[in-house]
Structure formats: C-alpha cells, structure tokens
C-alpha cells in the first residue's frame, strides 16, 4: 500500500516521513554567536559553585547524590544561565521556558541553580531532605520551580513531550522545553516511547540532554561511554542527535543555541563525580554523600578553580506570547438529552459527553492510545481534531504526556484506553499523584461483561489500582446521564480522576435533571419494607435492579444503591440505608474481590455493630464468552444476586 503523505501532513501537522528522516541531522553553525571569554569563564565558575552547593547540601543532609550532580554541573550552568529564557523571580510564569529534571536524584544541583538565581537562599540548601524543608530528596511541585515530580526514572521526557506539544500546538508560544536525563534511565522503555512521540509530532521546541556519565547505581551502564551508540539510537528515532563534551561550556553553548527543525538530543559525555578527584569515575559512590573531611577538601579544591570575574550571569527574559488560560468553571452547556429506558453504553456516553464538553470549553483536550473507536474518544476527535492527541499503543507515555499537558494549568486533560491497559502505566499514575497533577483518565471495557475478547482485555484490577492512589477520585457511572455528569465533575475536581466505563448497552435510569456530586450515592430502588441493601455499579447495578424485580414477585423487597463514586464512597448513605435493612448488605461488582467496591464498603461499615457484608465479585481469572454467560458463570448476574439475597435472609432467620 502506498503511504499517503499528504494525509499525514494534514492530520498530524508533520513533514512527510521521507523528508522527516532526511531533515537536518547536523547542527548548522552559520547563525551561532560564540559567547565572549568572560561569559564562558562565568559559566565555568557557576558550574563549580553548583558542585560546591551540591556537596555541602548532601553532606549536611547525610544522604543524597553529589556525584550525579557533579557530572551535570556544566550542563545546568549553560542551560540556566546561557540558554533558557525565564523570570527567576517567577518560576511558574506561563511564558518561561520549561525544565524537567528526569534524573531526579540530582535534585541538589537543581536547588543549587535556583540559589544561584537568587530565588532560594544559599543557607536554605543546607536543609536538604529535612522534614520541615521543601527541598526534598527528589523534585516535587511544592517547589515552585518544579512542574512535575521525578525520581522514578524514565518518566521525565514523556512529561516534557506533553509540555512541548502544548507549547507548539495549543499555546502556539515561543517557550521551549528542556529535559535532563541520566544514561542509566535510557534502559527504560518509556524513554523510547517518548522519543518516538516527539519525533512523530516534530517537537522542535524540545531538547533532551543525556548526561552520559557511564556509571549507574550498582554497575556501569550498558553502553558506558559509547556515545556514538546513543547518537545512532536517537537518530533512528527521528531526533537530531549531537555528541558533545559535557564538561565543555563552549560546546554546550554552541549546540544549545542553534536553530533546529526537529527534537534535539544532546549526548553529553561526562564523568560521574567530576571535580571531586577522589571519587571521579569510581563505582560505589552513587547516592552517597561525602564525609565532612572529604567534602571540605573537595570544596576547597573547587573554590580554587573559580577564577575571579566581575561578570554576573542573568537569564534572558522570555518572549511573552503564551495566551492566558482559565480552567475554572468548566461546564456543560446543557443537561443530558437521553431518555429514560434508552439503551446506551457508558463508554459511548463518555465519548459523546467529551465532545460536548469540548464544544463549549476550548481548553479541554483528549488523548488516546489507539483505542478511540472503542473508548469513543473518536467523537471528540471528529469535532475537535486540533485538540486531540493520538498517543498510539504507548500507555506509559500517554499518561506522562497527559501530566505534561496539564502542567501549569494549561489544559483540562482527558486520556482514555481500556481500563486494563492502565496497569502498565501504574508507575506513571502514582507519580501523577506526587506531581499534584490534575488529569482525567477513562478506562473502558471493564470486567467480564466485555465478553468474547477474554481476560487479557478485561479491566478487573483497576478499581484497586486507582483506589490506592491518595489523590484519586474514582467515578463509576452506571448510565449515560450519570456518565455525562461525571465528565463535568471530573473537569472541576482536583487531583487524578478515573472514570470506569462499560461495554454493554444498559438502560438510562436517571432523569436529565438529576443532580450528581462527588461522594454522593443514589438510592435507585426502595420500598418501605426493604430487607437487604444491595450495592452495585455499572453493569451490576442493572443486574441488581433486575434482581429486585424478580424478588418482588416473591414478596422480598431489596434496596438498591448506586455508589456513583467508589472513592470517596458515600459511607453515610450506605450506613443509613443499611440500618433500614437491619445491617444486611450485599455488594456485587464486575471486578476481582481484592480492592474493589466490596472492600470499600467493608471499610465504610467496619465500625458499625450489627452489620454484615456479603461480597460478590469475580473470583478467578475469567475466559471468553458472551457477556451474560460470563456474568452468570462468575456469579454476579441477576439470578446470583437474587440467590444471595435469599441466602442472607435465610441465614438471618436461622440466627434468630
């Protein structure tokens, strides 16, 4: 099949691929203006002061990574005092260039940089890693000069991609994004997912600097100082790749100040522990501070290398062309238009609601991992193609890109894929919480109710996974109306939001004017003499309603509750309604037993006396089959619920 390059250009704003890989691969030098000797010396002096700060801080803390800081000293000096444009008194200014320290263990040198700018006081560096200091062991956003938390290696470049994509395609602004990586983390597959993303979308406003210092934590890195191999790999991924001496401020200035037409990878050959002769290029010093006598000696030697100069370096101010953005009060323009009894899958309702939300809120964006025709995010893409980002089958990177896109409150981000595929990005999700990120994630195709595709596609661990994240809100809408309301709520909820959607078409059970709130359950079936409270969500809520009608014929009345959010759970409503049914509770969920709805309810009523909770969930690895067959086989369908109600009542009667 012939590749339609015209379509690629139109859809993805790219050069044709044939031109993309033939684009300029070597730095063009004609526009380069070499800094004067005073500036170069000032940059060398700054690098050595950064080393001194890092040594003193880590020795005072009794822990940290001074050797990892020392290898990056010249890189940080040139980036922050010769290349980047920003206002040091206002680190989160929307016009500033962005910087991501992917090798987060080198945090002390980042703090040292901000001390050199005057934003931090030098003596504050000595509080590194203390419980009452903001200068934690790895970068976190409680520091105003940090946008995303790092430290779990291999994730910084993905977040930088999200920032760069936002800068180029959404903000259409001049700010650039710089990411410093360690050579050890280049073994992480997520780095190469990000590399692929950046080249595909021609993020020429993105620079990755690889600090190739040869040594990892316990061993030399796989490629050690074979910098040409890093260069070949980066070029193979469509990046312009240049090898430099990472301790030469001249070479760094030269490469960082060139025009570019594709993402740039600077492979900086460095020495771990540079400037500290006793530990230079030696194994066994990763993550170890220098003892005080060694630290004093190293500082004295480094001070001797600082040449007195009257030249003071200041960063250049940014170009102020980033548009103002307000993400407050993101609202739907009208109530849902679904009719009672209409059959709609919540996954489809998600796509329709997302498109509707984006229609009236220009800062809503959508990401997907090549599942848009299953998650229905394609409905958003069809209406708002310029605000849709296809991340392809790279879920780790998709989550990191989402975090980057949401940084500095530039976008309201929704990212979707099958619920089960978020498991492979769990590290990125937990780092999103540490990053204080506001991102919304939709996981479709949850549970055995997806049917024939089988267990590899069934989200059965996702509730447990997201409930364990401290900043997460977990939505589980059960019909189209509540799904649409979910998106509006998620867009205005701080932290990480997870929306669980289902494949089967189920009836609309709520009126369009029904009011929903985070942490507020709904009683969807009730009589004056209910005997058992049944709590279901998604497909199992509908099975519970069917069971209620079935039991009614036997003169057994049950109360049915839709929790709406699994976290926070409406404990008050559950306890009050369960008291009306003498503490008898049944939970039924299309999820494994561990960590799901049942355990959440058990925790909610743990301190109540006279309560009993009978849990129904998927008890083993499932198999392919028709949805209703699987619900029956795994004991979470209407018949199983009705039988569980009978058993609970029988047990209660026998215990009297």
Q: Are 404 and 161 in contact (CB under 8 A)?
A: yes
C-alpha span between 104 and 78 (Å, rounded): 19
Number of CB atoms found within 10 A of residue 292's CB: 12
- Which secondary-structure segment (H or E) carries 439? strand 439-444
- Distance (Å, whole) CA 19 – CA 242: 19
Give the residue carrying structure tokens 């009208």: 334
Rounded Cα distance, 414 and 436, in Å: 16
Phi-psi region of 399 (alpha: psi -120 to 50; beta: other; left: phi over 0): alpha
Instruction: Decide: helix, strand or coil at residue 108.
Output: helix
**Residue whose tokens read 């203006």:** 33
Q: Are 351 and 119 in contact (CB under 8 A)?
A: no
Query: What's the burial of 470, exposed, middle or buried (CB within 10 Å: 0-12/13-18/19+)?
Result: exposed
Is 395 labeled as catalytic in the residue annotation? yes
Sheet holding 472-475, edge to edge: 388-390, 364-368, 412-418, 439-444, 496-500, 472-475, 565-567
Choice among 395, 461, 543, 599 that is catalytic: 395
Rounded-to-integer distance, Cα 108 and Cα 126, Å: 10
Tokens of residue 177, six digits? 């994004």
Phi/psi of residue 114, each to 5°? -75, -20
The burial class, CB within 10 Å (0-12 / 13-18 / 19+), for 655 is: exposed
The radius of gyration computed from the CA coordinates of the chain, to the nearest angstrom, equals 28
Do 43 and 81 meet the contact criterion of CB atoms below 8 Å apart? yes
Give the C-alpha separation, 577 to 570, whole Å: 11
Quote the tokens at residue 185.
């983390």
Q: Which of 48, 66, 45 is nearest to 57 (CA)?
A: 66
Catalytic residue annotation = 395
């Amino acid at each position: 099949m012939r590749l339609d390059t015209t379509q690629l250009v139109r859809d993805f704003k790219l050069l044709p691929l044939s031109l993309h890989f033939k684009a300029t691969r070597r730095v063009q030098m004609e526009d380069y203006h070499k800094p004067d000797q005073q500036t170069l010396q000032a940059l060398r002096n700054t690098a050595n002061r950064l080393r001194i700060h890092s040594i003193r801080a880590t020795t005072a803390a009794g822990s940290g990574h001074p050797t990892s800081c020392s290898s990056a000293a010249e890189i940080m000096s040139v980036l922050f005092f010769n290349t980047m444009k920003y206002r040091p008194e206002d680190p989160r200014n929307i016009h500033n260039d962005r910087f991501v320290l992917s090798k987060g263990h080198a945090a002390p040198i980042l703090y040292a940089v901000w001390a050199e700018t005057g934003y931090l006081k030098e003596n504050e560096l000595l509080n590194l890693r203390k419980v009452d200091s903001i200068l934690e062991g790895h970068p976190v956003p409680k520091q105003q000069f940090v946008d995303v938390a790092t430290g779990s290696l291999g994730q910084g470049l993905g977040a930088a991609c999200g920032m760069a994509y936002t800068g180029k395609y959404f903000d259409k602004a001049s700010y650039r994004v710089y990411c410093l990586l360690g050579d050890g983390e280049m073994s992480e597959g997520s780095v190469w997912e990000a590399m692929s993303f950046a080249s595909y979308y021609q993020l020429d406003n993105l620079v990755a600097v690889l600090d190739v210092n040869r040594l990892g934590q316990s061993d030399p890195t796989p490629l050690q100082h074979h910098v040409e191999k890093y260069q070949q790999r980066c070029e193979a991924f469509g990046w312009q790749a240049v090898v430099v001496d990472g301790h030469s401020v001249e070479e760094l200035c030269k490469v960082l100040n060139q025009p570019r037409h594709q993402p740039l990878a600077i492979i900086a050959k460095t020495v771990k522990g540079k400037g500290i002769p006793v530990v230079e290029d030696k194994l066994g010093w990763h993550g170890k501070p220098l003892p005080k006598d060694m630290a004093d000696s190293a500082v004295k030697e480094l001070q001797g290398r600082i040449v007195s100069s009257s030249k003071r370096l200041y960063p250049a101010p940014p170009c102020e062309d980033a548009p103002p953005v307000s993400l407050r009060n993101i609202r739907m323009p009208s109530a849902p238009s679904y009719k009672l009894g209409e059959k709609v899958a919540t996954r489809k309702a998600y796509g329709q609601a997302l498109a509707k939300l984006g229609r009236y809120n220009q800062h809503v964006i959508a990401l997907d991992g090549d599942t848009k025709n299953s998650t229905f995010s394609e409905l958003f893409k069809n209406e708002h193609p310029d605000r849709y980002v296809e991340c392809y089958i790279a879920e780790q990177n998709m989550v990191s890109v989402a975090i980057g896109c949401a940084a500095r409150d530039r976008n309201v981000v929704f990212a979707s894929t099958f619920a089960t595929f978020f498991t492979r990005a769990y590290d990125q999700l937990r780092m999103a919480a540490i990053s204080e990120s506001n991102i919304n994630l939709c996981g479709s195709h949850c549970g055995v109710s997806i049917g024939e595709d089988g267990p590899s596609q069934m989200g059965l661990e996702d509730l447990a996974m997201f409930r364990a994240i401290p900043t997460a809100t977990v939505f589980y809408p059960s019909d189209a109306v509540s799904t649409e309301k979910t998106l509006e709520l998620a867009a205005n909820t701080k932290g990480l939001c997870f929306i669980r959607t289902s494949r089967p078409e189920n009836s609309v059970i709520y009126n369009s004017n029904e009011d929903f709130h985070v942490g507020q359950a709904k009683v969807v079936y009730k009589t004056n003499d209910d005997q058992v409270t049944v709590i279901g969500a998604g497909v199992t809520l509908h099975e519970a309603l069917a069971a209620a009608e079935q039991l009614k014929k036997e003169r057994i009345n049950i109360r049915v509750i839709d929790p709406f959010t699994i976290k926070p759970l409406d404990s008050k409503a559950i306890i009050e309604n369960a008291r009306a049914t003498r503490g008898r509770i049944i939970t039924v969920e299309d999820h494994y037993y561990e960590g799901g709805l049942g355990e959440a309810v058990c925790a909610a009523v743990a301190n109540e006396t006279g309560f009993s909770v009978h849990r129904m969930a998927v008890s083993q690895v499932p198999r392919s089959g028709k949805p209703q067959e699987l619900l029956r086989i795994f004991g979470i369908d209407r018949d199983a619920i009705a039988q569980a109600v009978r058993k609970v009542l029988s047990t209660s009667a026998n215990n009297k």
